[in-house]
Structure 1
């Protein structure tokens, strides 16, 4: 049966409560920290050796689509009414707007150490201790808007710029690709400051704190952010019917990307799935 992912700003009080309760239970069971570990493991950058499955690569979108589905399945084992809502950061842009409310994700970190002290994921509540990270911090941190060097969230015009590109991805299939929907949405740009972080990447920078780097899953907003990113892939597919995931075939001998990216029909680790199998999920979920 198909279920629906909703805009977080439209959730009822009861839906907010059920989502938070399920998230805290996934954390209590130890499953949540497995998701953090997985994301750290598959956060491979251009300059590192080995396969890039999750970032700076064509499979950025299908990898995170499957990642979201895994979290959603964990939530729905606890409460089958719960789905991952999406945060439309082109519209809900204030640091006090949804989802930064006390009944959802809590607010900004305090100035002294960026520690989040409000909402159900605050360290003082005793339910959200950071266990897996690239630092030694034990509490959730945020720096919404970056107080010292402010940046703005991406606008809808910037998202539309990505959606308008009718090709899924293009050589060299990494963070330097200047053509293709994937990198325009993932957001590896050139230059300095905001110009070098577009769309998805700039949102991570805007939230700051735990959302920076491979351990960004420690902030629950990660899932709401990536649900909105996933929605853009769905919208792109509607705008460009028949445009497939690229590359269709693995890079040839002598290509620097050979063995470093996942082609459309290759297995996407750590799951036994291909990017092609994740292009159409309309029988699993839809977006409101």
Structure 2
């Protein structure tokens, strides 16, 4: 009788190990391809006991949010929510290349790296340290800028619009196209990523202006719309121009009227951004090429938001809550409170949305709002509100932590449309982007 040698036992054990290893590897590979079907929390969402298929188009998303559209213009769905106009197409959005299986493997890899490089005993993991000593660029209240500083910013906007950045090929209208994209509807608005998305959007514009002017310290100032009406600081003939005046009988206005767009009046006629001055064509966003404003146009936003609205948002302790969209309770969710969607037709808009609706014209519509340069001053202040809240509650309060549905971006998912790509986590600490504010919100 032959007695198995140690060597033969070793060969058998190694063969068994190889079979187990290969089986495990194949199982993980199958996860990469099929986990989307096995664990599809992002294809269905439980709402009030009913499972809803995730929206595949921006139009379907808005139908879920607000019901049927008020009208259809040029094959686009048009909604009027409070004083804000929302338009989008029904085309199918591009599917994400990042499958859930890939995310599982990524998390496993992060865990294995942690095992290979263990943390030191009693080591405390903290947020990045303050960079107060590292010469952070300071965004300032627009009321503190000198006449020369305002002129530098104004001229930089005009130059980026008409000449573009020769080093990057980026123009002002590049940003308009980003903010106008259908895919943005699921990431930039009515979602937890609203605040970090716009933080990065304003930051990228700021970088372009710095590169174009050669001034690395140029920053986009914030307009404190709670304390300042803007009439003496922003809406001036020597800066961004004033309110729209009267009616327009231009050919473009007649074309717009023929397409059913009612808000074609109130063109801005003073300042360098007036259409007839030949430096600012807004055709990238709305149907008409001229910049429009109409302060207090709608009954839903007859005035700018007041300190009581700001106080309500700042006193909240939770970043966001289910269903993580325009229906999130703004009495609980900080993000929903700041973004400010009306929860029912006829209800006034809140904070951020109220500012857009109050200015009216181009700012009243999501898809044309960034064609008005005041957009960036408004969102610098929205970011200041966000940063002030983070200083009180911590920078790591973002919800949801993990993927729930399309558009509800988790901490380690990359923002689309913007380059270089950044995850939500990488955008939560504004100091990591190299800037701070001259003044934060103090409600006491």
Report the TM-score when normalising by structure 1: 0.90
Greater CA drift, 78-87 or 162-171? 78-87
* Distance in 1, Cα, partners of 2:431 & 2:301: 38
SS at match of 1:230: helix
* Distance in 2, Cα, partners of 1:201 & 1:151: 12
User: Which runs of structure 2 are paired with 1:83-162 in the superposition (5 Å)?
Assistant: 83-93=219-229, 96-112=231-247, 113-133=265-285, 135-146=286-297, 151-162=302-313
Over aligned residue pairs, what C-alpha RMSD do you find?
1.7
* Distance in 2, Cα, partners of 1:118 & 1:206: 19
Report the TM-score when normalising by structure 2: 0.59
Query: Is the CA contact 1:42–1:54 (under 8 Å) kept in the aligned structure 2?
Result: no
* Distance in 2, Cα, partners of 1:287 & 1:102: 26
* Distance in 2, Cα, partners of 1:74 & 1:129: 19
* Distance in 1, Cα, partners of 2:436 & 2:395: 19
SS at match of 1:132: coil
* Distance in 2, Cα, partners of 1:104 & 1:73: 21
Shift of 1:75: 0.4
SS at match of 1:4: strand
Unaligned runs of 5+ in 2: 1-134, 165-170, 248-264, 439-444
The structure with more radius of gyration: 2
Shift of 1:265: 1.2
Q: Which has the higher strand share?
A: 2
* Distance in 2, Cα, partners of 1:150 & 1:172: 26
Shift of 1:192: 4.0
* Distance in 1, Cα, partners of 2:298 & 2:243: 11
Shift of 1:228: 0.3
CA deviations over 1:226-260 (Å, ceiling 9, x no partner): 00000001000011125511100112xxxxxx223
CA deviations over 1:172-218 (Å, ceiling 9, x no partner): 0000000210010000122344x341000010000000112211101
Correspondence 1:266 to 2:413: yes
The match for 1:26 is 160
Correspondence 1:36 to 2:191: no
* Distance in 2, Cα, partners of 1:138 & 1:262: 34
User: Which runs of structure 2 are paired with 1:121-270 in the superposition (5 Å)?
Assistant: 121-133=273-285, 135-146=286-297, 151-178=302-329, 179-193=332-346, 195-213=347-365, 214-241=367-394, 243-251=396-404, 258-270=405-417
SS at match of 1:175: coil
* Distance in 2, Cα, partners of 1:88 & 1:2: 21
Query: Is the CA contact 1:167–1:180 (under 8 Å) kept in the aligned structure 2?
Result: yes
* Distance in 1, Cα, partners of 2:333 & 2:369: 25
Query: Is the CA contact 1:190–1:196 (under 8 Å) kept in the aligned structure 2?
Result: no
Query: Is the CA contact 1:116–1:141 (under 8 Å) kept in the aligned structure 2?
Result: yes
The match for 1:68 is 202
Greater CA drift, 1-10 or 63-72? 1-10
Length, aligned pairs only: 273
